[in-house]
Structure 1
Amino acid sequence: MTLDARSISRLKGVNPHLVAVVQRAAEISPVKFIVTEGLRTKERQAQLKAAGASTTMNSRHLTGHAVDLAAVVDGEVRWDWPLYHKLAAAMQKAANELEVPIVWGGSWKSFPDGPHFELDRRTYPA
């Protein structure tokens, strides 16, 4: 699978190493996905925080170091956790192939975020 035009446009401003990981994951993932968000404005981040969809104003999206993906099954976006474990496996495999360290938001203890993937801060500081 390849990314659709809308997903590609949502990668504008995202770190090229993360873009490469997302593109490779699209090729190998058993689950089709779209990119829902990449680079965010401070205003968008404030909206998400106010809505409870984020807990921080220091998001990696603000610097182009994060993306959110959505699983697509039979043409519809789905939020079932098992799908995001499959997406995470594809993203991790792609990241390993490209030697780009990433972090999956689904592994966070305090605020698990299955659609979220970001470049590791230790290698890619803001």
Structure 2
Amino acid sequence: MKNTIKSLSAALFVFTVAPSLIFLSAHSNTASANEAHQESLPEDLHPAVKENVEILKQRAAEKGILIRITDGFRSFEEQNALYDQGRSKPGNIVTYAKGGESYHNYGLAVDYALELRNGEVIWDVEYDGNGNSKSDWFEVAAIAKELGFTWGGDWEGFVDYPHLQMDYGLSIENLQNGYYPSPNPYFNF
């Protein structure tokens, strides 16, 4: 009987008290965990995104289309400055995402434009520089989607034609909570 009571007491401790202690100790370090998360954020494009951007450039060039990546990784501060544009600073609104709310902030997004033979960069979604009666912009977007990018031109509401992202199934909230795709995206987190 004594052994049964000891066993029940041990089980009660393991299933009720221990989880509470673990929860409390995990949440008592929230501030330091957030600081560590901020320090662990990437400062460049994710390796798989970077590799796929190079493949995108190559495949577009094979179709006679030159593209230039006009933006990639952005710090939270850079994102906030873009967010302020058209609001508290002059210019047009170009984003609805504040710092920490954009895939750019986690190295998972790029913006592109078309590059003419003379080096000029254009954002003309109807331009057909390779003369095949198709929009170069949409040809690039199709190649990007084949490579696994999500294209901002497919979004409803705020359509963002230059935007390409690889989110690996992670939401912004996941990223804000410290989840990040591994360098090998087939083995996430």
TM-score, length of structure 1 as denominator length: 0.77
Paired residue type of 1:39? F
Q: Which residue of 1 aligns with 2:27?
A: none
Q: Residue 81 of structure 1 is aligned with which of 90, 110, 125?
A: 125
Aligned with 1:55 (options 96, 120, 124): 96
SS in 1 for 2:157: coil
Query: Over alpha carbons, which structure has the higher Rg?
Result: 2
Partner Cα separation in structure 2 for residue 113 and residue 121 of structure 1: 19
- Structure 1 portions without partners, runs of 5+: 1-11, 96-100
* Bigger proportion of residues as strand: 1
Name which structure has the greater RCO, CA cutoff 8 Å, separation 6+.
1
Say which of 49, 60, 63 aligns to 1:18.
49
Which residue does the alignment assign to 2:7? none
State the identity as a percent. Answer: 28
Query: Residue 77 of structure 2 is aligned with which of 43, 49, 52?
Result: 43
Task: Provide TM-score, normalisation by structure 2.
Answer: 0.53
Q: Which runs of 5+ in 2 are unaligned?
A: 1-42, 86-92, 127-135, 176-189
1 CA distance for matches of 2:116 and 2:139?
13
Task: Flag as ranges the 4+ runs of structure 1 deviating above 4 A.
Answer: none
How far apart in 2 are the matches of 1:47 and 1:53?
11
Secondary structure of residue in 2 paired with 1:106 = helix
Give the partner amino acid of 1:28. Answer: R
Question: 1:92: which partner in 2?
Answer: 145
Alignment RMSD, CA only?
Answer: 1.8
